[in-house]
Structure 1
Amino acid sequence: MPFGLTNAPAVFQDMMNEIFQDLLDVYVIIYLDNILVFSSNEKDHKAHVQEVLKRLQDNDLFCNIKKCHFHLAYDTSAPLLLQPDTTRQFYVECDASDYATGAILSQRNSEGKLAPVAYLSKSLSPAKKNYNIFDKELLAVIRAFKEWRHLLEGSELPVQVLTDHKNLEYFSTSQSLNKRQIRWANFLVDYNFQIIYRPGAQNKKADILSRRYNLVPLEGGVENQVLLKPELFIASITLDQEINDLIGKAIYKDDCLKEILHKLQNKEKVLDWELREGLLWFQGKIFVPKDDTIRNLILESRHNALAAGHPGQARTLELVSRSYYWPSLKKFVNSYISHCETCIRSKPTNQLPVGLLKPLQIPERPWEDIAYDMIVGLPVSEGFDAILTVID
């Protein structure tokens, strides 16, 4: 039959089926001119191939050796992963590190040993890296149940969750849970599982998955990058030393401190006060004498410096009070910041614009509209120290 006719493929397929009728699906599969010969071992395969070639030869059909392929179709060694069997019990081995979680889904093989069904390893986002160790270990369990939900949900036998974090054993009975843990608990309600503690020495497989080399953050990466130049910090340290040198000289010029300094220099104990490193300390902080120049320098270093960024009154007070103290410190800080030109210019207003000025209504007769004010604080003159001004 010539090629190209509509019914040529069907006729050719019928002829091949008739030639190999007794071999079809035994060790031969045929589709048109494609013949597949399969065998369970090499000896049988040689015999099967010879039989196929003989029948082709008997019917004047020929094979193109260039189009023939001989290969081993399947691995003969035992597979590494087990095929999941939903009728048998599952085991989930979990662990977490500072930067990733790992889990292994396992079942017992014919020898009664745990054999892996699937593996899971996933890194932690920057936010999840801040979780405490309990939440990280619980997150490893949550991720495992989400990944293998199609196998674990509805399991008749309880899924054995193996973890090296002992506190997870009490998770299902805990009465105090945060919002995140409550959300996870609601997710786990659909599963039949039991959390079992296993020492870390026996949980090494899951531990390795949580510490994969390609999940370890690189040293010196973006997270460890210093955003401010080193010279800024050096300048800050130098400025503090200069300020402390000025304070060490100024304390001896303050008359209010003479008595305290005299006692301390004579090795007498004064409550809350001490003299060391050439500075006077009050309750563990450097006492700043009454010198507005020095106090302004301290405020400039904590408020105006590039690394400070003009913080508000509460933040500036907290920065200053870490190292220094003087009477009415809060009042001094608030006054300094309220007069800071940069803060005044940059501070946004929360008030509506005042709008355009409008002329006042013209009075129709005298004394209909008057304005008055008081000028006070004047030197006493003939027993009076104030002036009342009235404008009609």
Structure 2
Amino acid sequence: MVQTRYGTFEFKVMPFGLAGAPSTFQHLMHSTFIRELDDFVIVYRDDVLIYSRSKREHLAHLRTVFERAREHQLYLNPAKCEITNQRATYLGFVIEPGKVSPDPKKVETVRDWPEVLKDRKKQLRGFLGMVGFYRKLIPNFNKLAHPLHQLLKETSDMHWRPKHSRAVHDLKDSLVHATNLHIFDPGKPMVIKTDASQHAIGAVLEQEGQPVAFESRKLSTRDQFLPAYESELLAIVYALTKWKSFMGTKLVMVETDHATLSRMLLQKK
């Protein structure tokens, strides 16, 4: 509301530019579709994604969403609506039946990024921000990005070396050739594969040989001095903690190629 000497006025529609507008609008959308959220509707501001298992079910879901919009006087632009598609681009990702991949337009932007950065700190932050958005699709992201993160430290001399160009190339290549992530299926067995290096740990969650999720993180200065088998064990603990919501009480297989750790885990207590 806006109070003036001529009276008190209230906006009829959401104005642009107000700091609280995005969160207020998000609250409105969540309130509108509260009964459908996470059942067959996902909402991010004015982007509404409706997902269904069959065409008949989808038409019923569409009718429900249209009715909710009408009840709350929300207007849809037909030119911006895509109906009954098997493929949707949503928030930087392409969603298809059973799998998720990066938006090709975003991948093209990363692919065309120069491998030797002239305005280094600004361009480097931009590049890491772009590829970091897709870190869930890049195996061992933090291991690959480590030389570039080191370059951004205050103590760095910002001298560009061949290893930095290799890191940019490897990150670009990993995203350009990123494997589609498959949607998690609680009815299928789970396999976790881990990896540890001097500076980072990483893991992949698979079902029937297909990747469902990738995770990685940098090692702290203290953890970088751990023995190799402890770093491998830390990667396993990290993965199990990260994906515990998927696992519940289900049996999970962990694969590791570290011989010492394998023998240690097989020892009787």
TM-score (norm 1): 0.22
TM-score (norm 2): 0.30
The structure with the larger Rg is 1
